[in-house]
Amino acid sequence: MIFLPRLTPAIRAVARLLLACALLTAASAPAAVRLQRVPKGGLQPQSVTAADGTVHLIYLKGDPAAADIFYVRLAPGEERFSAPLRVNSQPGSAIAIGTIRGPQLALGRAGRMHVAWNGSNTAQPKPARGTPMLYTRLDDAGTAFEPQRSLITHAAGLDGGGAVAADASGNVYVLWHAPGTPESKGENFRAVFVAHSVDDGKTFAPERRAHTTPTGACGCCGMKAYVDPSGALFAVYRSATADGNRDIELLVSRDHGKTFTVGVVDPWSVKQCPMSSATLTGGPGGVLIGWETAGEVSFGLATPSATVSDRKKLSDTRGAKHPVLVTQPTGETLAVWTLGTGWQRGGRLAWQVFDKAGQPTADQGKSDGVPVWGLPAAFARNGTFTILY
């Protein structure tokens, strides 16, 4: 309670009104942005925030060609991440080279963490061809990760990044792209496959081709997946057709991965692989999607019909890559991306905050120091956005 002694009732009323206005202004002020290095100098962070406010984070550490994955968490009220816990059971079985083959993280039922990643050249168990699509989950005690396993049973030929998504009902999905058949040659014959678990990742059914539409898949480009509160599975990847189109494609399944609707998000005709990544995340308005086309980063609202509405192209983004999106419970959105990064080349960090109406605010900026093979992650906490890089 605030006391206002020796003031007349009229003055006290005015003072209370001014105080209320000040509190309202503070509550509606745009979220602040702070920058933070990945713990232990790690690379390619991926984060997810639980309903209780706990921030879960994974990152790569070690030889970029044979790296390890570490997991930490930041509980509500704490200021430091927990001690690192290694995710991969075989040392050096992850890869940072290329920036889009690193681990992906999903939060499942009862707070269980699920991690999927492209195996390195030395990773085991190996499929008949190429490297494995590896998966593990936090054990029942929540103190260690189970031994890693490959989910590839027949769709071998992994190149670009895979993806993982999970929901609160025990469904876990791991997706990757590979040649449509063992005899297929060329990116235009690649396809997206999905392995589905109904028991929190304890077991997986053999992978199935997500759809029969002949989109191909850009071999060295990444993927991202997300399950919305209704249980719909969203996935984003870059296609590759024989005539040189490398469009951003959106997949949506409303029957737990049995069938998918596919839509073109952003067409792009380019003859070379851009080694691009994309992002999907939940927000107050639905599922947010961010992607890169021709050196520019855009984002919008992904719909269940595999279209994108309310598109926004970020300004001053020529040479932009690796978009990340995160929202506050109050509706503000932070867009983060890199500038100037590439093969064996670090770059700069850039960001822009949008208000709850989707309009850009004055809170924007750039910072040097994105390391080689680095990309950002971000989370919202206590009215502040934190960017990890």
pLDDT, one tens digit per residue, over 42-90 is 999 999 999 999 999 999 999 999 999 999 999 999 999 999 999 999 9
Could you tell me which of 132, 126, 138, 139 has the C-alpha nearest to residue 195? 132
Is the pLDDT reported for residue 222 higher than 60? yes
pLDDT for the residue numbered 30: 56
Torsion angle of the four alpha carbons 108, 114, 118, 119, in this order, in degrees rounded to the nearest 10: -160
pLDDT for the residue numbered 316: 66
pLDDT for the residue numbered 27: 40
Q: Could you read off the pLDDT of 346-379 as tens digits, one per residue?
A: 999 999 999 999 999 999 999 999 999 999 999 9
Q: What is the overall mean pLDDT for the chain?
A: 92
pLDDT for the residue numbered 29: 53
Which segment of 17-21, 130-134, 309-313, 360-364 scores lowest on mean pLDDT? 17-21
Is the pLDDT reported for residue 15 higher than 90? no
CA distances from 361 to 112, 316, 328, 384 (A): 36, 15, 14, 14
pLDDT for the residue numbered 375: 98
182 versus 270: the higher-pLDDT residue is 270
Put simply, whether the predicted model's pTM sits higher than 0.75 gets the answer: yes
Could you tell me which of 163, 173, 59, 71 has the C-alpha nearest to residue 116? 163
Calpha distance 247→309 (Å, rounded): 17
How far does CA 209 lie from the centroid of its chain? 22
**Confidence grade of residue 117 (pLDDT, cut at 50, 70, 90):** very high
Calpha distance 319→363 (Å, rounded): 21
Is residue 362 within 8 Å of residue 32, measured between CB atoms?
Answer: no
Q: What is the mean pLDDT of residues 288-297?
A: 96
Domain boundaries, the chain: 1-30, 31-388
Q: Could you read off the pLDDT of 160-203 as tens digits, one per residue?
A: 989 999 999 999 999 999 999 888 889 999 999 999 999 999 99
DSSP 255-303: STTSS-EEEEEE--B-SS------EEEEETTEEEEEEEETTEEEEEEE-
Calpha distance 121→142 (Å, rounded): 29
Calpha distance 104→378 (Å, rounded): 14
Instruction: State what percent of residues in the chain have pLDDT above 70.
Output: 92
Calpha distance 346→344 (Å, rounded): 7
Exposure on the CB side of residue 350, measured as CA atoms within 13 A: 19
Q: Quick one: tokens of 112? A: 């269980």
Q: Quick one: tokens of 98? A: 């290329």
CATH number of 31-388: 2.120.10.10
